[in-house]
Amino acid sequence: MTGFYSEHSKVWLSVDCIIFGFDESQLKVLIGRRQMDPGRGEWSLYGGFVRSDESVDDAAHRVLFELTGMRTLYMRQVGAFGSVDRDPGERVVSVAYYVFINVADYDDRLRKEYALEWVNLSDMPRLYSDHNQMVQEALKKMRLKMTTEPVAFRLLPPLFTLTQLQKLYEAVKGEELDKRNFRKRVKEMEFIEKTELIDKTGSKRGASLYRFNKRLYDEGKHFKL
Amino acid sequence: MTGFYSEHSKVWLSVDCIIFGFDESQLKVLIGRRQMDPGRGEWSLYGGFVRSDESVDDAAHRVLFELTGMRTLYMRQVGAFGSVDRDPGERVVSVAYYVFINVADYDDRLRKEYALEWVNLSDMPRLYSDHNQMVQEALKKMRLKMTTEPVAFRLLPPLFTLTQLQKLYEAVKGEELDKRNFRKRVKEMEFIEKTELIDKTGSKRGASLYRFNKRLYDEGKHFKL
DNA sequence: TCAAAAGTGTTAGATTTACACCCATGA
DNA sequence: TCATGGGTGTAAATCTAACACTTTTGA
């Protein structure tokens, strides 16, 4: 091959996914035991190599589709991790992505098939290579996004109660929130629509179910939580 | 070589730098004419390939040192740009970094030697490959950083007037700011120290020079502008 | 009937914004 | 002496934070 850049060296490029889920009141990350050498058996994020015929973003989508069977996940880049020795085997640069999934949509058989576990942030074990650092940076970025753009709904079912939404924000911010102030702010955002439906699973009285109306949001509403 | 990952393909990895400078009242970016094929002669960010014995961050530092002779620039990652066809020649993934330099510290002979130009954001030409997109994303990130952390001082001389600082924030935010409110907020941040020195170049009366005191800042002060 | 979660407003304090004049100096 | 940029305070409006009781219903 007589390419333009042949005097320069190439690297392996991988993607690693920080998969966030929310369950009841805890923010969780999906991790598994590494299936290949080096590092076989260590706790690790799920990842894969970027192929020559796909963009880096596409590689992350492909890897996530393999894992979850889901195609339209909310996914954002955390950044490139490129220390020389970050991978004990070879020179591999990795681009980390964080992903939001609604845990209820995720087929638990797939989780078991890949031997993955949902772990609370507070219980995060030591992970392979620099994956703990990736998780920390992903957290920083997702916290900012969550308070700044209407993406929380990707971690919840299509219909959710305000208590669920509040619990999610409490988990993300790591602090308790005032119920009345929280609801006041939600009420100001018309794109968080109250439906006629009632959820009776969480209480005897039942709580109204809400949904996110993207069309209304796109009409130029402001988000802040 | 009997490596672990040999069945996967490798890519070229480069870094590209969005070099921000500030001059009087304009935020500028340093760009040049591309010196190699493909794309020779097109306006382009300055960049280089990542070597096998250096981290991606180190590659960016090296490239910047080549260009500016400066070693301790403020530099942050924008992200990885990885479309398959982003480079018309070969598969190259690039990690973009934005950088702040104090224009006065930058040897203008070096600028000329590399045939680089400071261009205002509003006059940005069409750049090689996806470099315009890199600039846009860098801007978004630097704006957030500037209003959130005390990094403005990297774009200014060690001693600066409040008018200079305000002009810089006006350029970054793209709006005029109220002088009294701006100064009130600066005064609340003790780590922006007034010195005894007076700058007479900008006015007849002369303006007090200020400096950023990192030690004071690290003692847990809050920044917001 | 009572336990458990849902739902609802007001007020004080803090923050933000708008706004106009005097000062010091060199030309 | 005057043109130029440097420097200063107050008041109204808005936003934020703290706070407690009533409702509904299944067990």
pLDDT tens-digit readout, B117-136 = 999 999 999 999 999 999 99
Decide if A112 contacts A33 (C-beta within 8 A): no
Q: Whose CA is nearest the C1' atom of nucleotide D24? A: A205
| pLDDT tens-digit series, residues B7-46 | 999 999 999 999 999 998 999 999 999 999 899 999 999 9
| Structure confidence at residue B158 (pLDDT) | 98
| Matching residue, tokens 């020079």 | B209
The span from the CA of B32 to the CA of A209, in Å, is: 56
- Counting one residue from chain A and one from chain B, the pairs whose CB atoms sit within 8 A come to 99
Q: Whose CA is nearest the C1' atom of nucleotide C27? A: B204
Whether any strand C atom is under 7 angstroms from the Cβ of A38: the reply reads no
The span from the CA of B43 to the CA of B176, in Å, is: 31
Q: Tell whether the model's pLDDT for residue B208 goes beyond 90.
A: yes
Count, in order, helices (H) and strands (E) of chain A: 6, 9
| Rounded average pLDDT over A175-197 | 97
| Rounded average pLDDT over A47-70 | 97
Name the residue in chain B with its Cα closest to that of A55.
B83
| pLDDT tens-digit series, residues A8-26 | 999 999 999 999 999 999 9
The span from the CA of B46 to the CA of B51, in Å, is: 16
| Structure confidence at residue B2 (pLDDT) | 55
* Residues whose CB is less than 8 angstroms from the CB of residue B14 and which lie 6 or more positions away in sequence, other chains included: B47, B48, B49, B50, B92, B93, B94, B95
The span from the CA of B170 to the CA of B181, in Å, is: 13
Q: How far is the CA of B180 from the C1' of D10 (A)?
A: 12
Collapsed DSSP state (helix, strand, coil) of residue A222: coil
* Residues whose CB is less than 8 angstroms from the CB of residue B82 and which lie 6 or more positions away in sequence, other chains included: A13, A50, A55, A56, A57, A59, A95, B93, B94
Collapsed DSSP state (helix, strand, coil) of residue A17: strand
The span from the CA of A182 to the CA of A168, in Å, is: 12
Q: Which residues of B touch A13 (CB under 8 A)?
A: 10-11, 13, 82, 93
Q: Which residues of B touch A11 (CB under 8 A)?
A: 10-13, 50, 52
Whether any strand C atom is under 7 angstroms from the Cβ of B205: the reply reads yes
The CA distance from B13 to the nearest CA of chain A, in Å, is 7
Decide if A37 contacts A43 (C-beta within 8 A): no
The span from the CA of A39 to the CA of A99, in Å, is: 24
What pairs with residue A199 in β-bridges? Answer: A207
Q: Kindly provide the residue ranges of all beta strands, DSSP E only, lying in chain B, ordered along the sequence.
A: 10-23, 26-33, 43-44, 46-49, 74-81, 92-100, 116-120, 192-199, 207-212
| Terminal Cα distance for chain A, rounded | 54
Query: Kind and range of the H or E element at A218?
Result: helix A214-218
A4 contacts B90? CB cut-off 8 A: yes
Q: Tell whether the model's pLDDT for residue A146 goes beyond 70.
A: yes
| Rounded average pLDDT over A29-45 | 95
The span from the CA of B71 to the CA of B206, in Å, is: 33
Looking at the whole model, is its pTM more than 0.85? yes
| Rounded average pLDDT over A158-181 | 98
| Structure confidence at residue B221 (pLDDT) | 76
